[in-house]
Amino acid sequence: AVAAPLRPAVHPARWFELRRALRTGPLSSQRLPGMAVLRLLLEQCDGQERDGQGALPWNGCIGGYSAYDHVVCVGINSAFYIRLWTQRLAEGLADLDATLGPFLVPIAQNYRGVDKIFFLHLVTGDVYYLNPSDRTSSFARAHPPVTVPFSGLVLWLETLAARVRDGTYKSSEIIPGHPATRGLCLFPQKPLGQTPGVRSGSACTVEVTKGVEVLASCQFVPEQGRWMYSIRLRLLQEGEPGALTVADRGFETCQLLDRHWHIVPPDGGAGEHVRGRGVVGQFPVLRNGGHRTDMQNGHDFPDSLVEGEWATGAFVYQSCSGPAGQGERYGGEFGGELTFIPGTLMNPTGEPFDVKVAPFTLSVPDFMF
């Protein structure tokens, strides 16, 4: 589904127009080996269809995420859009970084425009992204240093493809609860392993308590200089590791009552404890194979809860952490507990129980997508 909106290889005339446009001005006399890398990309596909042509915003090949009103889904630019946005951004990029800026061309960007853009460096072939949260540099490389010259773009795309194949990134609703926004979601759905330079942990953790699975993960959001996190809740079904029968767990359904977050700062100090009812006014009910999202609509709790519709799959909640410090690559750890009531809040069938949210690491990844 994600690959469906890829366009055919660039037409030679389009490539000639782009090449001529990029070789004007200060780059006219420069040696630009990255042009061969750009041509290789466009000969595989001339970007993605855009602007209501059946693809974006939700089928962006580079993926997306959301929390509240901030929504990102990045697609590959066509030769036409690379030329258009290079012309629009040229002066601003040079002002941001006189050394890097003139050599950067926008190969992929958010469907909304300029709030998240990936650039190809026409000399090195590396991929960069805008990093306004770091005052030391306006741009950051989107992948580790490469040992093979001009291989940065290939490494970046191959790593993304490998993570899609192994299930780290999956097709799911970028805006939870809105099926029409289904696309490649960049919240990891399996642990990525140890991150170099980070003390411990992973950007994704999985914990099971009384048959309730909590998959917690985060994504660094450079355009806001903070981390977004995702909490996915579901009852495991028989046959899955950690699943319990209704008799063993003691309930057919359970409903979220309270949350408790423990946010440990980068220095490993005592941290901050945040407690509250539900999650942003939502009180999901879990059952085998699905969930129901009840909403609070008034001050009388739990009488003010309004029942939602039953849906299949996990309940997903997405939110944001506080801002990262300037140049900070490690933001600490985030974890806690969720308190559930067997049955429902209006008709409890047992005593409350806590479900662990295993701590996940807030860190800037080596690969940025």
pLDDT tens figures, 69-81: 999 999 999 999 9
At residue 251 the predicted structure's pLDDT band, cuts being 50, 70 and 90, is very high
pLDDT of amino acid 49: 78
Q: How far apart are CA 247 and CA 300, in angstroms?
A: 33
Q: Mean pLDDT over residues 164-188, rounded?
A: 92
At residue 54 the predicted structure's pLDDT band, cuts being 50, 70 and 90, is very low
Q: Mean pLDDT over residues 324-338, rounded?
A: 79
pLDDT of amino acid 266: 80
pLDDT of amino acid 194: 42
Helix (H, G, I), strand (E, B) or coil at 272: strand
- Has residue 8 got a pLDDT over 90? yes
Q: Mean pLDDT over residues 116-144, rounded?
A: 87
82 and 18 Cβ atoms separated by less than 8 Å: yes
CATH 2.60.40.1470, the chain: domain bounds? 187-193+200-362
Across the beta sheet with 315-323, the strand order is 204-209, 212-221, 226-235, 315-323
Residue type, 226: R
CA 75 to chain centroid? 14
Residue type, 9: A
3-state secondary structure 115-145: CCEEEEECCCCCEEEECCCCCCCCEEECCCC
CA-based nearest residue to 252, from 338, 346, 350: 350
**Confidence (pTM):** 0.90
Helices 79-96 and 12-22 meet at what angle, rounded to 10?
10
% of the chain beyond a pLDDT of 70:
91
pLDDT of amino acid 196: 39
pLDDT of amino acid 193: 53
β partners of residue 106: 119
CA-based nearest residue to 312, from 213, 177, 180: 177
β partners of residue 293: 284
CA-based nearest residue to 67, from 260, 317, 332, 284: 317
At residue 136 the predicted structure's pLDDT band, cuts being 50, 70 and 90, is low
User: pLDDT tens digits for 277-323?
Assistant: 999 899 999 999 999 999 998 888 888 899 999 999 999 999 998 77
Distances (CA, A) of 39 to 13, 314, 319: 13, 41, 38
Name the residue with tokens 């996190």: 229
Distances (CA, A) of 229 to 3, 78, 174, 237, 307: 26, 31, 13, 25, 25
**Least trusted range by pLDDT, from 8-12, 63-67, 220-224:** 220-224
pLDDT of amino acid 70: 92
- Has residue 339 got a pLDDT over 90? yes
At residue 55 the predicted structure's pLDDT band, cuts being 50, 70 and 90, is very low
Sorted by sequence, the CB contacts under 8 Å of residue 366 that are 6+ apart come out as 143, 144, 195, 196
Degrees to nearest 5, angle at CA 225 with 197 and 186: 75
350 and 202 Cβ atoms separated by less than 8 Å: no
Between residues 60 and 51, which one has the greater pLDDT?
Answer: 60
Q: How far apart are CA 60 and CA 53, in angstroms?
A: 13
Q: Where are the alpha helices (DSSP H) in the chain?
A: 12-22, 34-44, 79-96, 152-165, 246-249
User: pLDDT tens digits for 95-123?
Assistant: 888 889 899 999 999 987 778 999 999 99
Task: Please classify residue 45 by burial: count the beta carbons closer than 10 Å to its beta carbon, then call 0-12 exposed, 13-18 middle and 19+ buried.
Answer: middle
User: pLDDT tens digits for 261-288?
Assistant: 999 888 778 888 999 999 989 999 999 9
Query: What is the CATH number assigned to the segment(s) 187-193+200-362?
Result: 2.60.40.1470
CA-based nearest residue to 94, from 139, 154, 147, 39: 139
pLDDT of amino acid 134: 62
Mean pLDDT of all residues in the chain? 88
Question: Phi then psi for 303, rounded to 5 degrees?
Answer: -60, -20
Between residues 246 and 111, which one has the greater pLDDT?
Answer: 246
Q: Mean pLDDT over residues 31-51, rounded?
A: 90
pLDDT of amino acid 112: 77
Q: Mean pLDDT over residues 127-154, rounded?
A: 87
CA atoms within 13 A on the CB side of 145: 1
Helix (H, G, I), strand (E, B) or coil at 269: coil
pLDDT of amino acid 56: 54
- Has residue 249 got a pLDDT over 90? yes
368 and 62 Cβ atoms separated by less than 8 Å: no
Helix (H, G, I), strand (E, B) or coil at 58: coil
CA-based nearest residue to 120, from 137, 139, 135: 139
Q: How far apart are CA 357 and CA 369, in angstroms?
A: 25
